[in-house]
Amino acid sequence: MKLTAVELRRISLPLVAPFRTSFGTETTKDALLVRAVTPDGEGWGECVAMGAPLYSSEYIDAAEDVVRRFLLPRLFAAGDVTAGQVAHLLAPIKGHPMAKAALEMALLDAELRAAGQSLATFFGAVRDRVPSGVSVGIMDTIAQLLDVVGGYLAEGYVRIKLKIEPGWDVEPVRAVRERFGDELLLQVDANTAYTLGDARRLAELDPFGLLLIEQPLAEDDLRGHAELAKRIATPVCLDESVTSARAAADAIALGACQIINVKPGRVGGYLEARRIAAVAAANGVPVWCGGMLETGIGRGANAALAAGPEFTLPGDVSASGRFYARDITEPFVLDDGHIRVPTGPGIGVDVLADVLADVTTAVETVRG
Ligand code: OSB
Ligand code: MG
């Protein structure tokens, strides 16, 4: 496809409640949307970089800058470009996977829309709805946590993930297990907040039968995760560390993870995310689809990814209402604890022009 122009749009959406993790508290979601314009139609991409480089080294202003100054010129210079070529064309630019992912996503959406094929079909989806888990932030009190978890369970979420950090780990897990029982699918996510020296503390989670502990140690600490995995009974799942299919293969070979959280933005796009799922499946490692507080655009694409055969665990693909009172697409809603996978061409969601206009803080069109 010939990329004629790309619209770069910044939006700001208020969150329904603050979302606190070990790395910070979010109250609004700022996102960079990219709209690829081609003679054969348009496509949307969402950059999941956050406002500050706290989850990973990327942040939204840097993503926009690298898109404008370094990535788009290479795509425009390529003439005809397919989504499958984007990663290769952009590889000389180091890093910035979330920025690259947004561009690849927009081209993939445009291609599939033009071809009349859904992203889910393209990914080889084996289900038309995906089980929905929810990521629960760190709270001020255990009582508040129990209220919030109870509310999500009443809504129908099939799996609960508690954000943890030193000082908010064993007690909240114990309280949730005591209140909601041993059958509840429960896991925790530390976002790198621990060190190997905390192994004994983390082993205190063993009796609670957690599905997994996500990214307890630093992003670059594969050896530490492998050692930790020997010292605790809870399966270790990696998020931040899995930056590519090669990193996934390394982590598996080292024994650093028994489960992988696949996030397209973190690994440079949905195509690399599919390769990670393939590497994991070939090694018998279960995967699930993570989230980055996506708007309906990224949420729809994540639902399609999670419909792939390798995604055997419930992911962080929640209803839009988990984060947003008003989304920029028709909201994804819970249907008996599941999210329906879009069936329309491309990502299969339509952007609501009036909402989009309301939440836009800046927009610019870059021409090739
Ligand atoms: O570590 O999975 C994470 C949100 C932002 C950054 C990192 C993470 C998260 C979540 C929320 O846990 C997932 C979601 O529902 O979008
Ligand atoms: Mg995580």
Determine the distance separating the centroid of ligand 2 and the alpha carbon of 284, expressed in angstroms: 21
As a whole number of angstroms, the distance between CA 76 and CA 70 comes to 11
Determine the distance separating the centroid of ligand 1 and the alpha carbon of 270, expressed in angstroms: 17
63: its two tokens: 């993503």
Domain 5-115+350-367: which CATH number of 3.30.40.230, 3.30.390.10, 3.30.565.10, 3.40.640.10: 3.30.390.10
Mutate-to-test residue for ligand 1 from 19, 243, 316, highest number of ligand atoms within 8 A of CB: 316
As a whole number of angstroms, the distance between CA 116 and CA 305 comes to 18
Question: pLDDT value at position 160?
Answer: 98
Question: pLDDT value at position 122?
Answer: 98
pTM, to two decimals: 0.98
Tell me which residue has its CA closest to atom 8 in ligand 1.
292
As a whole number of angstroms, the distance between CA 122 and CA 142 comes to 43
The minimum-distance atom of ligand 1 relative to the CA of 26 is: 5
- Residues 6+ away with beta carbon under 8 Å from 23: 54, 55, 191, 192, 193
Question: pLDDT value at position 43?
Answer: 98
Question: pLDDT value at position 293?
Answer: 98
Catalytic residue numbers read: 163, 263
* Parts of the chain belonging to CATH 3.20.20.120: 120-340
* Parts of the chain belonging to CATH 3.30.390.10: 5-115+350-367
Architecture of domain 120-340: Alpha-Beta Barrel (3.20)
Question: pLDDT value at position 74?
Answer: 98
- Give the chain's residues under pLDDT 70: none
> Using a 6 Å cutoff on CB, does residue 55 contact ligand 1?
yes
